[in-house]
Structure 1
Amino acid sequence: MAAKHNFRKLTIWKEGIELTKETYLTTNTFPKSETYSLTSQLQRAAISIPSNIAEGTAKRTDKHFLRYLGNALGSAFEWETQLIIALEVGYISNERFKHLEIKIQSIQGMITRFMENLEKNIS
């Protein structure tokens, strides 16, 4: 059975990939002492967003897909929290923070709206 959704065509997946690339560029400037801490946490949370979306598209029902979208949304909020920490400890500038904050909040909104649309189809 083919997947109901093609993750490569989903804007939320594409935006998640872009966020992941920006995360790697941003964390490359973090101190080496953060390699196994905040750097790793941000990278793993970023990777989790498009990965959960992609994995969810392979599920047979929208109800199961919603679970993976929920995980992606959770990772997006986790990532935003870690971004705030990076700002608070001085690893990123206010300008970089604002740019990335807008991106993550946009992704959070897109995932939420996608979930709401799927939920309408289930009801």
Structure 2
Amino acid sequence: MGKEPIKSHEDLEVYKMAFDVAMRIFDLSKKFPAAEKYSLTDQIRRSSRSVCANLAEAWRKRRYEAAFIAKLNDCESEAAETQTWLKFAVKCDYLNVEIGRELYGTYNRVLGMLVTIIKNPSPWLIKH
């Protein structure tokens, strides 16, 4: 059987990967110290979720190439920001190195997929 057609942003592999890793970060961040509640914990949760939210917005902006790419660039920025927070979480001993590397690597894959779409948006755009 062939692949199912993509009907929504939730069908995109990049969205599924970003959503799953954001949920994993949410679960892991529950163990971060209370002192980090309004800083690292909130920031890493916000940026990881924002990748997904911006993908949803990008999907709905496919009529306009520039708007679509701009939203995908926002996804890229949020994914890179999440990688930065992951590094802080590891350095502060809130995450072990192996888990930090695994999550960071997942965001590298997310970034790679985003860049691929950004470089060739045509197949994704809604034709007028």
Say yes or no: TM over 0.5. Answer: yes
Partner AA of 1:47 in structure 2: R
Aligned length: 119
In structure 2, the residue matched to 1:113 is 116
In structure 1, the residue matched to 2:39 is 37
Q: Go from structure 1 to structure 2 and tell me whether the alpha carbon gap of 1:41 and 1:10 turns closer, same or farther (over 3 Å shift).
A: same
Match of 2:54 among 52, 55, 72: 52
Structure 1: which 4+ aligned runs deviate by more than 3 Å?
119-122
Question: Percent sequence identity over matched residues?
Answer: 25
Mapping of 1:94-113 within 5 angstroms? 94-113=97-116
Partner AA of 1:116 in structure 2: K
Give CA-to-partner distance per residue, 1:42-87, whole Å, 9 cap, x none.
Answer: 0000010010010111112122111100000000000000100111
Q: Offset of 1:101 from its aligned partner?
A: 1.4
Mapping of 1:2-41 within 5 angstroms? 6-41=8-43
In structure 1, the residue matched to 2:3 is none
Q: Does 1:68 align with 2:71?
A: yes
Q: Offset of 1:121 from its aligned partner?
A: 8.4
Q: Offset of 1:117 from its aligned partner?
A: 1.3
For structure 2, the 5+ residue unaligned runs are 1-5
- Could you tell me how far apart the structure 2 residues matched to 1:121 and 1:69 are? 12
Partner AA of 1:64 in structure 2: A
- Could you tell me how far apart the structure 2 residues matched to 1:97 and 1:13 are? 20
- Could you tell me how far apart the structure 2 residues matched to 1:51 and 1:32 are? 26
Cα root mean square deviation, aligned = 1.9
Give CA-to-partner distance per residue, 1:88-116, whole Å, 9 cap, x none.
Answer: 11111111111111111111111111111
| TM-score when normalising by structure 1 | 0.89
- Could you tell me how far apart the structure 2 residues matched to 1:43 and 1:108 are? 18
CA contact (8 A) 1:5 1:57 kept: no
